[in-house]
Every structure is written in structure tokens, then in C-alpha cells.
């Protein structure tokens, strides 16, 4: 039969246990106090972490921290994750961040701090978490980063396939919603969302130019050739790499003022969804400044250099400084510096870039700039053609040539008169009534033709070697041709009315 413990024995046992605990606790406090006094803080931290490592169970998950910035630059992976995760919001998400700037067309949806998004890639389950922490004083502010967690055994698949997939999808999303920007070094502010100006002193505005290839008053064959050339350039990344060339393309747009050179650049930007960097060479003082400026431009962009023939003024300024023997403190802008940035080693610092040069006078451009590799495709922006006029009439007046009697006469006048698309468009805008607008265009073209004839006659009159009878005969022949043209046009109009 089991002996029963008396109450006195139980009391003695409890008392001895309490005494032993008190003695142990006192000893541990003494040891801790001595450790804090005798063992340096760094060594204590190392020992504590070692104890945690040995006694904490190992986690099967790996977590990647993706910070908002890499030094002074933005983290490309963070930006891509921000865009990509906005399309992966689950119904279980409780808090979202909503924003929209005045220029944006759609709302921007993002994660609120602490929220999770679960994603899947093949057989891998991934968890994204958005984390915000308070920055250290005195700078303050929030530090943002994403935490991406997954099973350790899938690390290679995540790094080699999943994250590149996220970058690619983010680029596709940004292309769909992209607002095209026009950058200039003379722009006093920037429309960047983070209110920061780009390097190289670029400021920007949203480009809202309505020009498209459908609205350009150009020869249809020329327009198709430009579109095909752009499409071929976009899909030949691997080809450029294989042949050892920088992935860029140069265009020269030349022709009289008002022929649509700027509108063509805007149409190219709208078609490709490329930003435009408008660079004025007269504002660049040295080769080093030009390199800094071009290196601060982004991929998938158009570098626009207007009136390239005026770069001769820059070179003349250089020669004047040399003749005056001025000290070279900041360096100078040289033709070789321009060529090196366009076609030299510095031109390879970037991908998928288009350089567009414009000029009113192609013959004034230095021949070194014209060769392939610098200006690959030369596009003549000519005076308004009959096809261009029909497109303008359709765009501005909403009419076609099927039933309008003015079209034949205007076609004849355009074939014998030099008028720019801008001049034709201005005449068509003067009235909402198509007949009144077209009659005004006919009168305008006749005035230009007569002015051109008078100018030709005056030049002939001023030439002492031309016989006066020949001059009179030329004037009579010119007037007879005009009368014959008018008679022919009236006959055509009468037949159409019948």
C-alpha cells in the first residue's frame, strides 16, 4: 500500500524547490551582470546569434528583399514589381493605394504597406509583401521595399525565369498605358512622377501631339516605306547584336519649311510609343557636356536634332575661339565629338534608339554626317501632292474626290505650283463650308502660281543676255498655257455636271 505524503513533507519540498529556484535566478543575474560588464557588445551579439542559429528550427523558405533604390538610381526590379503586382491584386486584399495625376488617363492601383500578394509561376508558389519603414533622422522619410518569399529549392527558377518574366510583363503593361513625354534641356520643370529632373538637365512635358501616320499628308508609298522600316528596326535586336552594331537607326528629314517634318517625328513617337528628346546643339558647349546629355537619355526613345545644318555655327564659334587663343577651360564642341556620340563608342551606350535629324537645306550639311550609320535613311519631305491634298480634304472637311468639281482643278494647280501641306491645311481651315474652303484654296494656288511666274519673268528681265523679244514671247507662252489650263478645267467641270 502506497505511503501517503504528509502535509509537512509537501511543505518542505515546495520550500526547497523555491529556495533552489531563487538561488539559480540570483546566480544567473550575477552571471548576466558580469557578462555585460566583461564581454564586449559585439562578442555578445555574435554569441546570441550563434545560439539562435543552433536552437531555431530551419525555415524552408527564402526571402528576397527588393529595395526601391540602388544607390542614387532607381531599382529596375522594384519598379517592375510595382507595375506587375498592380495586375495581380486578389479579392482577399484588404487595403489598396489609389492615385491619379492630372495627366494620367487611368487610375494607378498599388499595395498599401503590409499587404500580401500571392502569385504562381509554373509549380512555384510565391508571396510578395510590401514593406514601408521609417527612415533614420535627420533625413526621415519612408524606406520602401518588396519582400519576395518562396521555397529555397526554387531559387534558380525564380532568379533565371520568374523575375525576367516579371520585367517583361511590366514593360508590356507600361507600353499599353505609357504617356509619351517630350524632353528638353530648356524645359524649366519636369512632369516626372517623383518630381525629379533627369540627369543632363532634361525637363519634360507630356506630349499630346495628335499626329499619326493616318493623318500625315504624305505620299502613301513613302509613308508605307517609313512604317516598314520602323517595324523592321524594332524586330531586329538579335540581328544588330549578331552583326556587331549598336541597336539604333538614323533618319534625315529634309525639305522646305512647312512640309511636315515635325509632324512626322510626332507620328513616329506615337506609333512606337517612344519619348522624344529635343536636343539643341547650340546650347551644348563641349564634347563632355554632349556625352553627359546623351547618356542621360533612356532606351526606346527618339533623339531629335533639328536644323542640323546650323551646327556649322557651333564649329565657327570654335574656330573664332582658337583664333583669339582663348584658354580652353571647359573644352569645346567639335564635329568629331558629335560624330563619336552618333556613331562612335559612345553611341553603343543604349538600345532601341532612333536619331532624327531635320534640315531645310540638305546641301549645307557636312558630308561626314550624311553617310550610312549616322543618317541611314534620307526622307525628302516634298511640297503637297495630290494624294496629300485628298487626305487633308478628308481630314479637315470630311469630303472625298468622288463628287466634288474642285478636285480636278486643284490637282492641276498642285502639279504646277509649289505649296506646302501647311499652306494647304491653313486654307482648308478658313471655312466649314467645303465649297468655300476649296474655292479659297484654288484662288490661293493661282496667286502662288502667278507670283512664281512674275518672279521668273523678273529674273529674265534682269538678265542682260536675254533678248527682249524672247522675254515677251516667254510671257505670252506662259499666259497662253494658263488660259488653256483654265479652259480645260472648265470643260472637265461641265462634263461632270452633265
Whether residues 227 and 364 fall in one domain:
yes
Whether residues 145 and 219 fall in one domain:
no
Q: How far apart are CA 298 and CA 216, in angstroms?
A: 27
Summarize pLDDT for 220-246 with one digit per residue, the tens: 999 999 999 999 999 998 898 898 888
Quote the mean pLDDT of the chain. 80
Instruction: Give the residue from 486, 250, 448 showing the smallest Cα distance to 355.
Output: 250
For a pLDDT cut of 70, what percent of the chain falls above it? Answer: 78
Whether residues 78 and 156 fall in one domain:
yes
Summarize pLDDT for 283-302 with one digit per residue, the tens: 788 888 888 888 888 888 99
Residue 279: how many CB atoms within 10 A of its CB? 21
Q: How confident is the model at residue 3 (pLDDT cuts 50, 70, 90)?
A: low
Query: Which three cell numbers mark 394?
Result: 478628308
* pLDDT at residue 194, as a whole number: 44
Q: Report CA-CA distances (Å) from 347 to 7, 338, 373.
A: 95, 10, 11
Whether residue 113 lies inside any domain: the answer is yes
* Residue 351 Ramachandran class (φ > 0 left, ψ -120 to 50 alpha, else beta): beta
Residue 330 has pLDDT above 70, yes or no: no
Phi, psi of 463 (to 5 degrees): -95, 115
Whether residue 6 lies inside any domain: the answer is no
Q: Report the SS3 class of residue 348.
A: helix
Residue with the bigger pLDDT between 255 and 19: it is: 255
Whether residues 273 and 256 fall in one domain:
yes
Of 42-51, 126-135, 193-202, the least confident: 193-202
Burial of 133 (0-12, 13-18, 19+ CB in 10 A): exposed
Whether residues 191 and 301 fall in one domain:
yes
Residue 259 has pLDDT above 60, yes or no: yes
Of 348, 380, 412, at which residue does a domain stop?
380
* pLDDT at residue 196, as a whole number: 45
Whether residues 225 and 373 fall in one domain:
yes
Of 143, 177, 211, at which residue does a domain stop?
177
* pLDDT at residue 25, as a whole number: 77
Q: How far apart are CA 156 and CA 324, in angstroms?
A: 64
Residue 491 has pLDDT above 60, yes or no: no
Phi, psi of 447 (to 5 degrees): -65, -45
Of 56-70, 340-354, 412-426, 452-466, the least confident: 452-466
Q: Report CA-CA distances (Å) from 485 to 53, 174, 412, 472, 492.
A: 99, 56, 8, 20, 11
For a pLDDT cut of 90, what percent of the chain falls above it? Answer: 30
Summarize pLDDT for 411-432 with one digit per residue, the tens: 999 998 899 999 999 999 999 9
Of 129, 145, 177, at which residue does a domain stop?
177
Whether residues 363 and 435 fall in one domain:
no
Residue with the bigger pLDDT between 260 and 309: it is: 260
Residue 471 has pLDDT above 70, yes or no: no
Whether residues 252 and 296 fall in one domain:
yes
The parent domain of residue 284 ranges over 184-380
Summarize pLDDT for 351-400 with one digit per residue, the tens: 889 999 999 988 888 888 888 878 889 999 999 999 999 999 999 998 88
β-pairing, 69-70 vs 108-111, is unpaired
Q: How far apart are CA 23 and CA 376, in angstroms?
A: 90
Whether residue 459 lies inside any domain: the answer is yes
Q: How confident is the model at residue 329 (pLDDT cuts 50, 70, 90)?
A: very low
Whether residues 293 and 195 fall in one domain:
yes
Residue 70 has pLDDT above 90, yes or no: no
Q: How many domains does the chain have?
A: 3
Residue 469 has pLDDT above 70, yes or no: no
Whether residues 324 and 401 fall in one domain:
no
Whether residues 355 and 426 fall in one domain:
no
Whether residues 337 and 407 fall in one domain:
no
| pLDDT mean over 140-162 | 88
Q: Which long-range contacts (CB under 8 A, 24 or more apart) does 215-218 make?
A: 215/267, 215/391, 215/395, 216/260, 216/263, 216/264, 216/267, 216/391, 217/260, 217/384, 217/388, 217/389, 217/391, 217/392, 217/421, 217/424, 217/425, 218/260, 218/264, 218/381, 218/387, 218/388
| pLDDT mean over 483-497 | 56
Q: How far apart are CA 227 and CA 219, in angstroms?
A: 13
| pLDDT mean over 172-184 | 84
Residue 195 has pLDDT above 50, yes or no: no
Of 275-279, 396-400, 480-484, the least confident: 480-484
Query: Which three cell numbers mark 143?
Result: 524606406
Amino acid at each position: 500500500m502506497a505511503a501517503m505524503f504528509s502535509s509537512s513533507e509537501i511543505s518542505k519540498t515546495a520550500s526547497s524547490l523555491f529556495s533552489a529556484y531563487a538561488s539559480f535566478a540570483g546566480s544567473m543575474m550575477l552571471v548576466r551582470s558580469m557578462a555585460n560588464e566583461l564581454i564586449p557588445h559585439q562578442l555578445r551579439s555574435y554569441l546570441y546569434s550563434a545560439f539562435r542559429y543552433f536552437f531555431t528550427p530551419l525555415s524552408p523558405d527564402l526571402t528576397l528583399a527588393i529595395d526601391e533604390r540602388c544607390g542614387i538610381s532607381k531599382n529596375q526590379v522594384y519598379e517592375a514589381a510595382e507595375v506587375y503586382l498592380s495586375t495581380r491584386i486578389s479579392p482577399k486584399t484588404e487595403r489598396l493605394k489609389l492615385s491619379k495625376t492630372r495627366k494620367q488617363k487611368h487610375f494607378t492601383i498599388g499595395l498599401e504597406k503590409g499587404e500580401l500578394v500571392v502569385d504562381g509561376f509554373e509549380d512555384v508558389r510565391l508571396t510578395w509583401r510590401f514593406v514601408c519603414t521609417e527612415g533614420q533622422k535627420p533625413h526621415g522619410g519612408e524606406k520602401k521595399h518588396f519582400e519576395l518569399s518562396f521555397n529555397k529549392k526554387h531559387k534558380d527558377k525564380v532568379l533565371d525565369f520568374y523575375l525576367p518574366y516579371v520585367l517583361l510583363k511590366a514593360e508590356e503593361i507600361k507600353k499599353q498605358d505609357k504617356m509619351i513625354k517630350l524632353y528638353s534641356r530648356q524645359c524649366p520643370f519636369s512632369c516626372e512622377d517623383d518630381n525629379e529632373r533627369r540627369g543632363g538637365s532634361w525637363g519634360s512635358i507630356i506630349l499630346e501631339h495628335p499626329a499619326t501616320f493616318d493623318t500625315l499628308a504624305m505620299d502613301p508609298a513613302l509613308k508605307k516605306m517609313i512604317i516598314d522600316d520602323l517595324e523592321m528596326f524594332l524586330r531586329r535586336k538579335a540581328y544588330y547584336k549578331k552583326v556587331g552594331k549598336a541597336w539604333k537607326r538614323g533618319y534625315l528629314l529634309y525639305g522646305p519649311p512647312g512640309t511636315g517634318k515635325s509632324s512626322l517625328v510626332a507620328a513616329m513617337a506615337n506609333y512606337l510609343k517612344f519619348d522624344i528628346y529635343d536636343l539643341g546643339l547650340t546650347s551644348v558647349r563641349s564634347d563632355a557636356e554632349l556625352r553627359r546629355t546623351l547618356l542621360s537619355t533612356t532606351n526606346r526613345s527618339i533623339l531629335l536634332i533639328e536644323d542640323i545644318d546650323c551646327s556649322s555655327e557651333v564649329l565657327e564659334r570654335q574656330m573664332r575661339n582658337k583664333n583669339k587663343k582663348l584658354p580652353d577651360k571647359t573644352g569645346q564642341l567639335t564635329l568629331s565629338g558629335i560624330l563619336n556620340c552618333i556613331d562612335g563608342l559612345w553611341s553603343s551606350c543604349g538600345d532601341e534608339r532612333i536619331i532624327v535629324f531635320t534640315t531645310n537645306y540638305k546641301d549645307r550639311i557636312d558630308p561626314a554626317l550624311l553617310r550610312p550609320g549616322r543618317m541611314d535613311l534620307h526622307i525628302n519631305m516634298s511640297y503637297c501632292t495630290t494624294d496629300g491634298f485628298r487626305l487633308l480634304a478628308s481630314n479637315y472637311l470630311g469630303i472625298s474626290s468622288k463628287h466634288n468639281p474642285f478636285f480636278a482643278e486643284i490637282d492641276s494647280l498642285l502639279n504646277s505650283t509649289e505649296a506646302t501641306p501647311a499652306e494647304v491645311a491653313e486654307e482648308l481651315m478658313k471655312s466649314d463650308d467645303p465649297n468655300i474652303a476649296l474655292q479659297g484654296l484654288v484662288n490661293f494656288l493661282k496667286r502662288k502660281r502667278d507670283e512664281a511666274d512674275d518672279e521668273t519673268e523678273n529674273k529674265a528681265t534682269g538678265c542682260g543676255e536675254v533678248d527682249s523679244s524672247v522675254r515677251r514671247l516667254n510671257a505670252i507662252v506662259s499666259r497662253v498655257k494658263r488660259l488653256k489650263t483654265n479652259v480645260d478645267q472648265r470643260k472637265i467641270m461641265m462634263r461632270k455636271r452633265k
